[in-house]
Each structure stands twice: as C-alpha cells, then as structure tokens.
Structure 1
C-alpha cells in the first residue's frame, strides 16, 4: 500500500527523476508533469495528496499553480521547490497556502524529511 500520492511538477527532467528515485523506494506513488498546465490537467483526472511544484517554469509559474490548486483542490498540500529562494517568495507561497518550500539543489534526505512531515501532519 502506498504512503500517499504525489504529483511532481517541474520542467527539469533531472528534478523529476531525482524525486522519483528518492520517493518511490520510500513507498510513495508518484506521477510527473513537465509544466503547470499539464500538472493541473493531471489533478483534474486524479486525486493527489501532495504536489511538489517548481517555482520557475515556462507558461505558468509555481505561485500560479499553487493558487489554482488551492482554489480547486484545497485539501491537496503543496510544497514549492525553488532554486530562487527569497524571503518575499516564501512568504507569498505560505500566504497562498503552500505547506512548505524546499530549496534546489536538495538532498534526498531533505526531500524525504519535507514529504514525511507533510504526511505526518496530514494523517494526524
């Protein structure tokens, strides 16, 4: 049985691959999208407990993805993944309902800790 369903939205193949290699062995079920519109379409077609979304992507950035997810699927947790971490961006993301953010490049341990924390609090 899966620990939870996670959708990874990131335009970088290496980030999606890294998330998969880290989280699938931990017991999570992963789906992946290359951009915001593709990720939102996947959310329309199936439910996810958690979305990990990149901040800087073409077409639709992570803040816009976050806002749409919180509007349409408010019970889905969102963690922003960014290589461009600023206090202003972090505050904006948290105000819009992000559970947390993780800075790129991240270690497997940091990713597991962040995701585990989401599910620990979710399952209380």
Structure 2
C-alpha cells in the first residue's frame, strides 16, 4: 500500500486528505509543519508527499529543499492558495512535481497521485 505523507498546519485539511486518500487505498502519515514532515520522512518509507506551502516555522519550500538535500526521492505535491509563477518555479527546483491550487478537485488530485506513482 503506497504511503503518503500529508503536511499541513490545518487539521481540517489533513483530515479531509485522509478521508480522500485512505478509501482510495493509500496509507497516510501526518505532520503539522515542515519540521515534523522532515522527522516523518526519516521514520517512514514515504512514497509521495503532499505539503502545504504556508506553515508556521519551516515553510513548505524550505522543507522541500531539506528533503532533497537529505537525499529523499519521494515526489512532492504542493497544495497551496499561492499562484505565483516565481514560487512555483522555485518549488520545482526543490523537487515539487505538482503545484495544486486550493481549493482542489479530489478527482484531479487522486489522478495526479496515481499517475506519479504509476498506479493507473
């Protein structure tokens, strides 16, 4: 079962993603911020990361940079309200493979996850 790390400071968003991902056949590991996200990467074999951009403490881009620097290869989906092309370009440099603007469509998110993980 593929394992997805969901990183968001909003519990409601983490819960909504769990409610989407678990019935779709994914195991979900949660983190409340970038620091916890990095910690979880070291504790679990993570197949894909879904992260918020704006979080207290370490933001999503900084966390992605550290994930890449530490040699983790899990693809990263950034789920954010931000639409800045500059931020999106910087995110790609740090391993972000999908930039999804909130509010997202569940079927598009699931389709993207399955495509990246080569499940469909």
TM-score, normalising length from structure 2?
0.93
Q: 1:72 aligns with which of 70, 73, 76?
A: 70
- The C-alpha deviation readout for 1:10-41, integer Å capped at 9, x for no partner, is 00111111110111111011011111111111
Partner of 1:39: 37
Q: How does 1:94-109 map to 2 (within 5 A)?
A: 94-109=92-107
Partner of 1:51, secondary structure, is strand
Partner of 2:40, secondary structure, is helix
Query: Gaps spanning 5+ residues in structure 2: where?
Result: none
Partner of 1:59, secondary structure, is coil
Shift >3 Å, 4+ stretches: none
Q: Distance in 2 between matches of 1:73 and 1:80?
A: 19
Moved more, 30-39 or 108-117: 108-117
Q: Distance in 2 between matches of 1:24 and 1:98?
A: 22
Q: CA deviation at 1:83?
A: 0.8
Q: Distance in 1 between matches of 2:42 and 2:3?
A: 14
- The C-alpha deviation readout for 1:20-69, integer Å capped at 9, x for no partner, is 01111110110111111111111111220111110000001100010011
Query: Gaps spanning 5+ residues in structure 1: where?
Result: none
RMSD over aligned CA atoms reads: 1.2
1:56 maps onto 2:54 in alignment: yes
